[in-house]
Amino acid sequence: MQTFNITEARKNLLNLVKSAVDEGESYTVTVKGKPAVVIMSTTDFDALKETIAVLSDPDTIKDILRSEEEIQKGELVDLDDL
């Protein structure tokens, strides 16, 4: 992730936003040398929030781990059998 100070980010804001939306890039913007904000597309931000929500749910994590164990054991169901 590239980092820009606030002045550089302001000068290049249109290009940074376009790159975030079109290419999935994200950027850190610093103020007085410290990270302050991130520029990223709303699509990527929504996906990140959803991932955090899923990984924060203990029941979902248990289901994922159990499913991985079943896959390792070869306990699979053919799609045609569903």
Domain ranges of the chain: 2-40, 43-73
Q: Domain 2-40 - what CATH class?
A: alpha beta
At 25, the amino acid letter reads: E
**Predicted structure pTM score:** 0.72
Contact yes or no for 44/26 (Cβ under 8 A) = yes
Tokens read off for 48: 């990140």
**Each residue's pLDDT tens digit, 30-82:** 999 999 999 999 999 999 999 999 999 999 999 999 999 999 999 988 888 87
Q: What is the pLDDT of residue 80?
A: 86
Pick from 38, 18, 20, 13: nearest CA to 28: 38
Residue 46 has what pLDDT?
A: 98
The 8-class DSSP code of residue 32 comes to T
